Amino acid sequence: METLRTLPGDDVRQILWRYADRFDLQMAVQSARSIARSVVARLVADGVRNTHEWTERKAELLKAFDESGLTSIYMDPAQGGFIEGPKNLALALVAMELAWVDGGAATSALASCLGLAPIHEKGTDEQRAHYLPLCTPPQPGEDRVCRRAAFALTEPLPYVGVDTGILGGKMRVQSWDDGAEPLLKVEKRGRFITNMDFADIVTAAVESDDPRIKGSCMIILEKDDPGTFDRGAPTLKMVHQLSSTRDPVMSLTVPASRIIGGYDVVDGVIVPRFSHGEIIASVFHRTRIPVGLMTSAKLLSAIEPIIRYHRQRFRGGSVGEPGSRRHELGLQMNEDALQRLVDVWATGEAGCSLGLAAARLADRFDPIEREKDRQFAAQGIKGRKQLAALKDSQERALEYVRLKYAPAGQADPARLAELEADTLAQFVYMDALAGVLNPATKLWNTGVGATMMREAVSLVGGYGITEDCPGFLCHKWMDAQLEATYEGPEAVQRRHLTLTMTNPVFLELVRQWSAELRRSQAGGAAALAGALDLWLWTLDFLQNGADRDGKKLYHGKRQGVTFPLADALGWLLAARSLMQDVAVLAAEAPASPVLAEAAPGLTAFYADMACVQAARAAGEAARVCAELVYGYGCGQAQDGPGGPCIVFTGSEEFARLRQGVDQGLHGTRLAKDRAAEALTAVMIPEALDYPL
Amino acid sequence: MSYHIVVCGSIVPDPLQTLEPVAGPGGPALKNEMMLPAVLDPWAAHALFEAANLAKNVPGSKVWLVSVGPKAKLQQVMMHVAQKVPFELVVMDGPAGGFVEAADTAAALAKAVEGITGLDKGKLLLFGGWSSASRGTGATLQILGELLGVTEQFQGVDELRPADDGSFEVKERIEGGGYLRSRCAGAPAVLGWATGNLPEPPNNPQVGMQNMRLIMPALQKAQPAAVGAAGVAYKAVELPGTRRQTRIVKDTPVDDIAREIVEWIKG
Ligand SMILES: Cc1cc2nc3c(=O)[nH]c(=O)nc-3n(C[C@H](O)[C@H](O)[C@H](O)COP(=O)(O)OP(=O)(O)OC[C@H]3O[C@@H](n4cnc5c(N)ncnc54)[C@H](O)[C@@H]3O)c2cc1C
């Protein structure tokens, strides 16, 4: 049976990733794609990545982004943009299109948004109204240059890197005349600051070094402020050369009104309204999603060049005339070449499903978060009282989750609607979910993605490790490592997850997902449901258990316990997201006039890929759980048939659950065989659509 | 003197795709045609960019893009095209492949053009591709002109220069790399464009959002077009056999490449 007819095009992607009804997003995708596959691809093909310096050729990128609207994609229409409302999904899709060809170019496109994000998220109205339009390209007839921003958090050792709680950057009051705006002296040395070759505006994290200023903040620095604005040495990086990175040194005098979000004067002390920690939390909350997706896009981009390489490997030789199996299939005659490619593909799909679910959630979450802030402000609820109010809403959030996932017909629709309109309950629900999905996207997509990218490279043999490799695969493999590092490396994401994955609302979601999967007939669903249950059991065991020395197992400092559990969760979330998307495809593809005829085969292929991914994820998670439970398990020495041995008590339930996972694997290898077979028949374009 | 420029153009499979004729239920077709990514026919695209440029330089002018094509695929293509230049879309929903009769398409187009509200036929410049990338008969535009009673026709146009009095000069391609320059007293006229002179404009999402506000409703209310190949029997359908002898060589000077091509042609 013919399953997959052509490689999935936009029609398929728009259904899978839920933007079939958003023409603004489709346009943004088209814009980004046309630049990626022309300007960007040309730069990479011409070896422009071979220098650390920011060159004129690299600067062509900025011009292309300006002209095609990508620079202003972050802004609202009133500020010179063209997309109304939250833009997390838009930024994610654009980053993917660019990263399909080159990750550095994608970073370049995103970095100005990152630089502006502190102002966008927490800036005062005046700060937003001033800086965002400045950073849009001039419209016809306007006489100004487009300003660009950089985000300066990390500093040279021994200051802030992963541990962003401590800062080396300092601010002091330089002068404070009666009734006038205080002038601040800001000292900031950055490390690895993206956009630094051309940034006009830097949003920098700094701490008070003066009794007249309280705590920390982020502050806006401009290149023409009095003092030193030294862009510093370029970073001698091996990757992402189509973005600029330097280690700047800034010592500038700025008015206190540059403090992002403003400040109050309390008893003669300047009190910033937001600490640097609060600002970066809300910025990274969102901006980490596109970074994770950049790595997944690389995996998807590898499929076509690899199939082409495999099919053509023996062409032109003395054996294998046209029409022969060797000529037509080349290396695709071999099961391994096919099945490994299915793994690469399924990993890419799962990463995209996870990351785009996070991006869509962020879009829904943004207005809820603002509405929550508005309600609290209107009622004068501040600080600890906010926490209490949210805690009170947790029961309703839990009820909402139970109703949302209740089997069809079993939930009271009126109550569901009521809870859907309950801002605080929705906030608590979405906060719990986003708190896990966002770091999981950054952690799983980049970490597992980098490993999978190595598989992709290996599938192109010796050619894979050359610069001539079609699809720039070896560049992408190295680039993936940077994506796993910046905006907080894997350790940071694991730490984040350690805190958020134990949220009761999230744990209730996991229970509901498991039940939903058990109701589904999809291949691999049983294994995945089993693995979710196993994970829940293991978490509970670790949270309540102690090791042989009586030390608590689940503990912030015990990364040997908490981190693997976070990794296991990443696998499960990604596989579940893919299953969700495939279910949507199965439901909607038949109605698409473009896909209708091909829909059955297409959805069967995707179901097989989701099954492959579910099997792999369940296996990974079960392995991690078994290692933790048995590995730390408190046993007793007993006499066994073969002599003394340690017997772990309380393992029967675990063993039963683990067996459930294994049994859930039934048929999953057959699914992989089918998916692999489909790769031999899929139609690919005549030529890669960007240069070698 | 302003112009009402109607550009006729539809979609073709992206030229990078593998095209393979197959026998479909409704006659010959291309393998997986509906699923192949599509682009605006490059000839029609040239015409559209020229039309937009002309409209920009002659105040009071307006551009319509009239298309007979499968509306679901047209919608995808429009996401890209709409960002290039301002225009209003008029759609007839029907097949646009290489096996549709030119006369049928021309008839459907004529109906669509006649239906445009506010169109002043006295100002009409009917633009389109000299030929199309799906089937280069070059007949559609000529028949359309005849149906609409526009008998001033120019084919293979590379340049159009309007004068202040409403007349214009046209540069048409003729054999042997030569050009024919004509002067036409004024609209209405049919101009089948060759490649024109203008590069593809960069994307401008602001223009895109403006265009899409009208394009989406136009697509929704697209009328079905009765076009096809009824009464036509195809004796054989095949693609020219591909014979590729590709070498990938980096950093070769342009002169060397040219020299090699000349030698190949001679040999
Ligand atoms: C090309 C590039 C561009 C960048 N762009 C920017 C930018 O624009 N703006 C900006 O502010 N920053 C930027 N960065 C900085 C980037 O975000 C940091 O490099 C990253 O967050 C890691 O910090 P670090 O390099 O100081 O690592 P370190 O703090 O030295 O950490 C090293 C490793 O130690 C381990 N580790 C550290 N702490 C812990 C812990 N608590 N628990 C467990 N393990 C731990 C982890 O394995 C970690 O990966 C960029 C970096 C690069 C390479």
Helix axes A599-632, A668-681, angle to 10 degrees: 140
| Atom 49 in ligand 1: residue holding the nearest Cα | A489
B204 and A69: CB-CB below 8 Å? Answer: yes
Residue A413, amino acid: P
Three-class secondary structure of residue B202 per DSSP: coil
Please list every residue in chain B whose beta carbon sits closer than 8 Å to the beta carbon of residue A692.
248
In whole angstroms, what is the distance from residue A410 CA to residue A515 CA? 14
A683 exposure class (CB count in 10 Å sphere: 0-12, 13-18, 19+) = middle
Residues B202, A686: C-beta atoms closer than 8 Å = no
What pTM did the predictor assign?
A: 0.94
Q: Which residues pair with A264 in a beta bridge?
A: A271
Report chain B residues whose CB lies below 8 A from the CB of A10. 37, 76
Rg (CA), chain A: 26
Predicted confidence (pLDDT) at residue A285 exceeds the cutoff of 80: yes
Average pLDDT over all residues of chain A: 94
pLDDT at A604 over 80: yes
As a whole number, mean pLDDT of residues B35-39 equals: 92
Cross-chain residue pair A10–B73, CB shorter than 8 Å: no
Quote the pLDDT of residue B246: 66
Give yes or no for residue A581 CB within 6 A of ligand 1: no
Give mean pLDDT, residues B47-63. 96
Report the complex ipTM: 0.89
Q: Residue B159 C-alpha to ligand 1 middle, in angstroms?
A: 58
Q: Do A687 and B203 touch (CB under 8 A)?
A: no
Q: Which amino acid does the sequence have at A366?
A: D
What is the predicted pLDDT for the residue at B241?
67
pLDDT at B28: 84
**Side chain identity at residue A345, one-letter code:** W
pLDDT in the model for residue B61: 96
Peptide bond into A182 cis (omega under 30): no
Separation between Cα atoms, residue A603 and residue B184, nearest integer Å: 57
Inter-chain residue contact B216 with A23, CB threshold 8 Å: yes
Q: Provide, as residue numbers in chain B, all residues whose Cβ is less than 8 Å from the Cβ of A31.
A: 83, 203, 205
Lowest mean pLDDT among A310-314, A640-644, A681-685, B226-230: A640-644
Put simply, the answer to whether A69 touches B205 (Cβ < 8 Å) is yes
Neighbours of B220 (CB within 10 A): 10
pLDDT of residue A686: 86
Q: Residue A169's closest CA among A117, A219, A223?
A: A219
What is residue A465's DSSP assignment? T
CA nearest to B39 within chain A: A30
Question: How large is the average pLDDT for residues B52-64?
Answer: 96
The residue type of A332 is Q
| pLDDT tens profile B76-115 | 999 999 999 999 999 999 988 888 899 999 999 999 999 9
Contact B16 A689 (CB under 8 A): yes
**How far is A191 from A156, CA to CA, in rounded Å?**
5
| CA of A458 relative to ligand 1 center, distance in Å | 28
Contacts of A342 (CB under 8 A, 6+ apart): A609, A612, A672, A675, A676, A679
- Residues of B in Cβ contact (< 8 Å) with A60: none
Of the candidates B35, B202, B209, which has its C-beta nearest A82's C-beta?
B209
In 3D space, the residue among B127, B128, B110, B125 whose CA is nearest the CA of residue B225 turns out to be B110
d(CA A160, CA A177): 33
A23: amino acid identity, one letter: F
**Which 3 state secondary structure label does DSSP give B225?**
coil
- Residue A673: how many other CB atoms lie within 10 Å: 15
For chain A, list residues whose CB is within 8 angstroms of any CB belonging to chain B. 5-6, 9-11, 23-24, 26-31, 34, 64, 67-69, 73, 82, 468, 592-595, 597-598, 683-687, 689, 692
A482: its two tokens: 């940077």
- Does ligand 1 lie within 6 Å of residue A562's CB atom? no
Residue A1 has a pLDDT of 62
Among residues of chain A, what percentage have pLDDT more than 90? 85
What six digits make up the tokens of A496? Answer: 């984040």
Confirm or reject: Cβ of A153 under 6 Å from ligand 1.
yes
pLDDT score of A637 more than 70: no
Distance from CA of A153 to the nearest CA of B (A): 32
> Residues A450-484: pLDDT tens digits?
999 999 999 999 999 998 899 999 999 999 999 99
**What does residue B234 show for φ and ψ, rounded to 5 degrees?**
-90, 125
Segments in A486-596 forming alpha helices (H): 490-500, 504-519, 525-544, 559-588
Q: Which residues pair with A187 in a beta bridge?
A: A170, A251
In angstroms, the CA A501 to CA A356 distance is 19
From the list A23, A260, A324, A15, the residue with the least C-alpha distance to A124 is A260
Contact A598 B35 (CB under 8 A): yes
Instruction: Please check whether residue A441 is in contact with residue A484, taking contact to mean a CB–CB distance below 8 angstroms.
Output: no
Residue A144 Cα to ligand 1 middle (Å): 36
Tell me the shortest Cα–Cα distance from A478 to chain B, in angstroms: 23
Whether residues A593 and B72 touch (CB distance < 8 A) is answered with: yes
Query: Are the beta carbons of A19 and A34 closer than 8 angstroms?
Result: no
The length of chain A in residues reads: 692
**Once rounded to an integer, what is the mean pLDDT over residues A107-116?**
94
The rounded mean pLDDT for chain B is: 91
Q: What is the mean pLDDT of residues A200-217?
A: 97
Given a cut of 70, whether residue A547 has pLDDT beyond it is: yes
- Structure letter (DSSP) for residue B222: P
How many angstroms separate the CA of residue B35 from the nearest CA in chain A? 6
Ligand 1 atom at shortest distance from the alpha carbon of A196? 8
Identity of residue A612: V
Please, where are the H alpha helices in B17-70? 42-57
Q: How many CB atoms lie within 10 A of CB A272?
A: 25
Q: Which tokens is B143 given?
A: 């028949």
Lowest mean pLDDT among A175-179, A332-336, A517-521, A544-548: A544-548
Contact A498, A563 (CB under 8 A): yes
* Ligand 1 pocket check for A343: Cβ under 6 Å: no
DSSP A68: T
Q: What is the mean pLDDT of residues B11-38?
A: 87
Residue A445 Cβ contacting ligand 1 at under 6 Å? no
Instruction: Report DSSP state, residue B131.
Output: S
Cα angle, residue A469 at apex, residues A465 and A474 outer, rounded to 5°:
45
Contact A30 B17 (CB under 8 A): no
State the Cα angle at B195 between B189 and B201, rounded to 5°: 100
| Lowest-confidence pick of A29-38, A352-361, B221-230 | B221-230
Decide if pLDDT at A596 tops 70: yes
Q: Is the CB of A151 under 6 A from ligand 1?
A: yes
Residue A427 sits at the vertex; the CA angle it makes with A426 and A431, to the nearest 5 degrees, is: 115
pLDDT, mean of residues B212-230: 90
pLDDT band at B33; cut points 50, 70, 90: confident
pLDDT exceeds 70 at position A643: no
- Interface contact A24-B35, CB threshold 8 A: no
Contact A272, A214 (CB under 8 A): yes
- Nearest residue to A368 via CA among A462, A276, A452, A434: A434
pLDDT at A638 (0 to 100): 62
Q: What is the pLDDT of residue A687?
A: 84
pLDDT for position A383? 83
What pLDDT was estimated at residue A692? 58
**Starting at the edge strand that comes first in sequence, how are the strands of the sheet with B189-193 ordered?**
B179-184, B168-173, B153-162, B189-193, B124-129, B4-8, B62-69, B88-93, B223-224
Percent of chain B scoring above 70 in pLDDT: 97
Closest ligand 1 atom to residue A490 Cα is 49
Give the residue from A645, A513, A623 showing the smallest Cα distance to A567.
A623
Answer whether residue A635 shows pLDDT above 60: no
Cis peptide before B188, with omega less than 30 degrees from 0?
A: yes
- pLDDT of res. A640: 65
Rounded Cα distance between A304 and A310, Å, is 10
Closest-CA residue to B31 (of B11, B10, B41, B17): B17
Is the per-residue pLDDT at A154 higher than 90?
yes
> Per the CB < 8 Å rule, is A687 touching B16?
yes
Q: Is B22 on the interface with A (CB under 8 A)?
A: no
Instruction: Assign B2 a pLDDT band (cuts: 50, 70, 90).
Output: very high
Query: Using the beta-carbon criterion (under 8 Å), do B35 and A687 form an inter-chain contact?
Result: no
Residue A121, token pair as written in the block: 């998220």
pLDDT band at A158 (very low <50, low <70, confident <90, very high): confident
Mean pLDDT of all residues in A249-256: 98
Collapsing DSSP states into helix, strand and coil, what is residue A452? Answer: helix
Q: Which residues of B touch A82 (CB under 8 A)?
A: 205-206, 208-209
A18-A23-A24-A30 Cα dihedral, nearest 10 degrees: 90
| Ligand 1 contacts CB of residue A154 (under 6 A) | yes
Nearest C-alpha neighbor of A579 from the set A556, A612, A546: A612
Token digits of residue A673: 């065989």
Contact A148, A201 (CB under 8 A): yes
Q: Give the pair of three-digit tokens for residue A147.
A: 């300003």
A302 near A464, Cβ under 8 Å? Answer: no
Q: Which residues of B touch A30 (CB under 8 A)?
A: 79-80, 83, 203
State the closest ligand 1 atom to the C-alpha of A239, by its place in the atom list counted from 1: 1
Strand, helix or coil for residue B29: strand
Amino acid letter for position A100: W
Tell me what pLDDT residue B250 has. Answer: 74
Instruction: Indicate the residue type of A372.
Output: K
CA of A495 to the centre of ligand 1 (A): 14
For residue A488, the CA-to-ligand 1 centroid distance in Å is 6
- Residues from chain A contacting residue B32 (CB–CB below 8 Å): 5-6, 598, 683
- Is residue B249 less than 8 Å (CB to CB) from chain A? no
Residues of A in contact with B21 (CB under 8 A): none
Least confident of A11-15, A337-341, A595-599, A624-628: A595-599
Instruction: Tell me if chain A has a CB within 8 Å of the CB of B254.
Output: no
In B91-242, where does DSSP find H-type helix? 102-114, 140-148, 205-220
Beta strand B11-13 pairing with A635-640: unpaired
Q: How far apart are CA A565 and CA A555, in angstroms?
A: 12
**Rounded mean pLDDT, A202-227:** 97
> What does the alpha-carbon distance between residue A515 and residue A509 come to, in Å, rounded to a whole number?
10
Q: Which residue has the tokens 């393979």?
A: B20
Q: Which of A512, A513, A505, A510 is nearest to A425 (CA)?
A: A505
